[in-house]
Structure 1
Amino acid sequence: MIFVTIGTQAPFDRFIRIIDEIAPSLKEPIIAQTYKGEYKPQNIKTVDFLPPDEFNKLFNEARLIISHAGMGTIISAMNKQKPIIIFPRKASLGEHRNEHQMATAKKMEQLNYVYVAYNEEQLQTLIMTPDLKPLHQLGDFASQQLIKSISEFIKR
């Protein structure tokens, strides 16, 4: 199962429409959290809002996460070792108040932490790629390097 999430701040109809158009080419179900969108998908199962326990259940069961460029979802995917494709919202299209999601996507791509699609073709190519693997893992604790750096800073 593929789990798609757009966050809970605003609809992301352009993204959901693209996912809906790709869905017939796939051989597995897609469940999308759509949050008050106007576009009515025909090929995917949607839910407007998910309580945290239901969201976590779907997240944990998913083979692949596809998301807006929200840091909460990105961090959760890395922590749970789930492959994630991010598709940033564009303020220039009225999808957000500024271009911070584009900046997040570029940085995550530069670090090779997540798969990033900036357009419909890239998104389709990534979704159709078999067996995407997680690109980066986050643990439950800070790295020894970070702890050492902070300790040295405090000692100064």
Structure 2
Amino acid sequence: MSRKTVFVTVGTTKFDELINTITQNEILKALNEKGYNHLILQIGNTSLDPDCTPRCGFKSIVSFHLNPSLEKYVSSADLIISHAGAGSCLEALEAKKPLIVVTNELLMDNHQLELAQQLHNDGHLYYCTCDTLLNLLQTMDLTKLKPFTSDKSRAIANLIDQIMGFD
């Protein structure tokens, strides 16, 4: 079996629910059934210590908190599962990687859901919540995703962050 890597990112936020969901045996088994066998977790600003014991067909599971650049992880991934931050979404899409966006239902302002819905409606990604991730993994067809093309996405992400007061 070849090496197929899933990269999970929560950006600089705290999204423990996503990390806890991804490391459930049921989710790992569903990913492994799709051929994935390596998992890299970028867990963000948290004190969470996820279970990185290789299991359910995964040869390695590793985690780290923050890194100035996620480019090497994005470029080496065969699938990216991300929070719905504009920067993370656009970085994955620009790298032409299959993307699943998991929206954080605990956020008060659900602008992330709007972004995920629009990019999904345009055919560029799948989106779900932690509660519906397993079903999505079991039913998704990544070949149906359309490549995302834009040379202005970084400017768009910066503008969204500015409007939302994140800069």
TM range (shorter): 0.7 to 0.9
Number of residues paired by the alignment? 134
Answering whether residue 142 of structure 2 is matched by residue 132 of structure 1, we say yes
Gaps of 5+ in 1: 143-156
Give the AA of the match of 1:60.
S
CA distance in 2, matches of 1:141, 1:105: 18
Deviations 1:72-127, CA, capped at 9 Å, x for gaps? 1221222111000000112xx2xx3411111212222222221111342x312333
1:29 CA drift (Å)? 1.2
Give the AA of the match of 2:37.
E
1:139 CA drift (Å)? 4.5
Larger radius of gyration: 1
- 3-state secondary structure, aligned to 1:36: coil
Give the counterpart of 2:104 among 71, 74, 89: 89
- 3-state secondary structure, aligned to 1:136: coil
Write out the 4+ residue segments of structure 1 that deviate beyond 4 Å after TM superposition: 128-131
Task: Answer whether contact 2:7 2:74 (CA < 8 A) is retained.
Answer: yes
CA distance in 1, matches of 2:77, 2:141: 13
Report matched runs for 1:4-43 at 5 Å: 4-8=8-12, 10-21=13-24, 22-25=27-30, 26=32, 27-43=36-52
TM-score, structure 2 normalization: 0.69
Name the % identity: 30
CA distance in 1, matches of 2:66, 2:47: 14
TM-score, structure 1 normalization: 0.74
Deviations 1:51-89, CA, capped at 9 Å, x for gaps? 21xx11111000000001111122122211100000011
Root-mean-square deviation over aligned CA pairs: 2.3
- 3-state secondary structure, aligned to 2:28: helix
